[in-house]
Amino acid sequence: MLVEDSLVVRQLLAHIVSRDPRLALVAAVDSGEEALREIHRVQPDVISMDIRLPGIDGLETTRRIMAERPTPIVVVADAVEDSSLKISMNALRAGALSVVEKPVGTGHRAYEAIADQICTQLRIMSQVPVIRRRPIGAERLSRTDAPREEVRGTLPATQSPSVLAVAASTGGPPAFAKLLGALPADFSLPVLLVQHMGAAFMEGFADWLNGVVPLTVVVAGEGVRPQPGHVYVAPGDRHLALGPSGLLTLLDEAPVGGQRPSATVLFRSIARHAGPRGFGVLLTGMGEDGAAGLLDMHLAGAATIAEHESSAVVYGMPAAAVRLKAAGSVLPLDLIAPRILRAVQTGLSA
C-alpha cells in the first residue's frame, strides 16, 4: 500500500512498484486517515509511507498502524528537508523499519538507482515480522519469558575499555536511541557507530540522534581524535575505522558483505588497534555484517555483546555473531547499557 498525498509522486511510486514482478500494488491513498481505513480491507504486506501528509501526518499514522494492525512500514522521505528527516527518524522510533529517498523523475540520472532502492526495501521489509507497538516511550519488550541475561564465553578483561563500537541495520535508530540514551553525558568512552542507511540520510540521522540522547553526536571526520562522551557516526557510503594512532579514518574501499559503511570493518579496526581495550556491541539488523568483526574483537580479548532475539527488530546480525561465538554476552537491549557502564566502572569484561 502506498501512502502519499502528492498525486505526481503517488503515480510515480505506483509506476516504480509495477516494474517489479515481486510486488503488487493493493492500494494507493493520499492521507493517513484513508490509510487507517484501507489497511484493514486490503491487508498489505508492506506500506510505503509519506511523512508530510495533510491531517494525520505520517508519524502519527505510523504510530496508529503499529498499535492497531502492525505492518512493515518503509518511510519515503525528502532527504534534503530537515523537518522531514527528523519526523522520519521519529517514525523509525515509532516502529517503521527503514527510510528511503523519495523518487525523482524518470529523466533524472538518479532515477534508476532510487527506484531500485525503493523496490528492494519494500521487498525486504515485507518479510520482517513486526509486533504491536505501544506509544513512544513504552517498552518494546513485553514478553515475560524474555531472558534477563545470557552469557557466552566470557573472557576476563585485562584492561579497562577505552573505546566503544556499536553497529546496527534494520531497527537501528530506535535501538541506538535507547542504548545511548541510557548512557550519561559524561560517559568516559568515545563511541564509534555504524548504521546501515542511505547516504542522503546520515547527516539527518546524526542530528536526530544528537537531539534524543545525552551524548554529543556528530558525523565522523577523517583524522579526528575521538573524545569521551562523543558519538561518531560513520558517514554515508564510507567505512569508519580506528587508525593505528587512535585517530578516526574514513575509507573508500569496496563494500564488505554488500555494506559500506561496514560494521565488520569498524570492529576489525578496533580489534587491531585497541585490542582488549575495545568494547563491541552488535544490535538488530538484517544479514551478517559485523559478526566476523565482532569475533576478531572477542579473540583480541575485548568485551563483546550481541543483542538478544527477544528485543531485536530483526535477529540477523546478532544471530550471526552468536553462531560464530563472537559474543561474550547476549543481552536484551535494555540490559546492554547497564552492562557497559558496569564494565567501564569496574574494568570487568562484558
Annotated catalytic residue 48: no
C-alpha span between 12 and 7 (Å, rounded): 8
Judge whether 334 and 311 are in contact, CB under 8 Å.
yes
Which of 5, 57, 289, 296 is labelled catalytic?
A: 289
| Cell 547476549 belongs to residue | 330
Phi, psi of 130 (to 5 degrees): -120, 160
* Residue 201 DSSP class: G
Cell of 13: 511510486
Annotated catalytic residue 169: yes
Which of 31, 48, 98, 169 is labelled catalytic?
A: 169
Which of 50, 84, 162, 196 is labelled catalytic?
A: 196
Annotated catalytic residue 308: no
C-alpha distances in angstroms, 166 versus 18, 61, 124, 293, 306?
38, 30, 23, 11, 10
Residue 83's contacts (CB-CB under 8 Å, 6 or more residues apart) are 52
| Cα Dmax for the chain | 61
Looking at the annotation, which residues are catalytic?
Answer: 169, 196, 289
